[in-house]
Structure 1
Amino acid sequence: MNFDVENSKNWRPFFSRSFPRDTLPWTSVQPSDLHYENTRTEDVNILHVQIQDMLRRKMVDWREANVTTWHHVFQKRLQDIIKRGSIANGTDIEAVLAEFRNTYNIVGFALQMPYTTIQAIVDTVYSTNIYKHATNDIQFALAVHIHPYPNNILAVWIYMAHLTPK
């Protein structure tokens, strides 16, 4: 196969002098300019609260036979790291984990997904089975981060952990 498009023995041009490109009656179906809306910060903040509240309520529901308590100090530290955007390099989270590892066994995960519905997020967290611990001697931590992109595209990060005393 020869890909030399200048060689007319191998390739025939679609447009020519007898059929010029400018005489075509149709135009492109694609818009010439794409217009993206800015994602409103207020909407992102409202959604953040809704997701966080829904996940907290669901954890209590899923653990109906046990008491669900939240480790507010660990949760606050995790949320602060996320807000600073420094969780990607891992140094800040390691420092926080080291602080709590002396007294707690910590198991956790981070989920990243596009925002479609709150129910999709709830279903994903449910599928991790983090709530399945038949003990009251456990505390949970939850942090939510939403990164907005133009045109109301949202990336959602869910950080969950459970802490059990050593």
Structure 2
Amino acid sequence: MRKSLEDGKNEPDAADFYYGEMEMRRHDSTRPPAERALLTAYWAVSGYGLRASRALAWLLGAMATTLLALLLWGFPAVDPKPTTTGRRVAVGQDVTLTTDTPDPVNPTGAWSERVTTQRFKKALRVVINSVLFRSSGQDLTTAGTYTEMTSRIAEPILLGLAALAALAIRGRVKR
């Protein structure tokens, strides 16, 4: 029936049949557990690509979680400053210079001391860049690096599901 509704250009009703079809697949106990788990995740995150508000809520939740994690644990206590060292040489000899950047130091102290406007701006910049699959170029602690890597994988997927769901809304209103 879904196919005939699609052929008849009745996208809203075809989407309803698609949702029902996917629900039956998700609840089918004869399907492999991995497939059912994947369908359950697809349902929870975006309503099978048909619920834009659900996908946007997950995206905003993931971004807020990333922002909070970076704000509290992701940035070093003090930005590491590169130091260049060398030695004096006689006239006509080559100069050797070495630049070292110390490892970032994890922040310590109360959480209220870590939540500052400057750290919030940095965290917001990193989160927005991670949604678009770009590296922030910020010096991050180990926890911050792993947080950024995770968000660079998960958040673009959620953004894609939100875009897919927005197209589904367009198809429903198109009629």
Pairwise same-fold verdict (TM > 0.5):
no
Which TM-score bucket, shorter chain as reference? under 0.3
Q: Which has a greater percent of strand?
A: 1
Structure number, greater radius of gyration: 1
Q: Compute the TM-score of the two structures, normalised by the length of structure 1.
A: 0.22
TM-score normalized by the length of structure 2: 0.21
Bigger helix share: 2
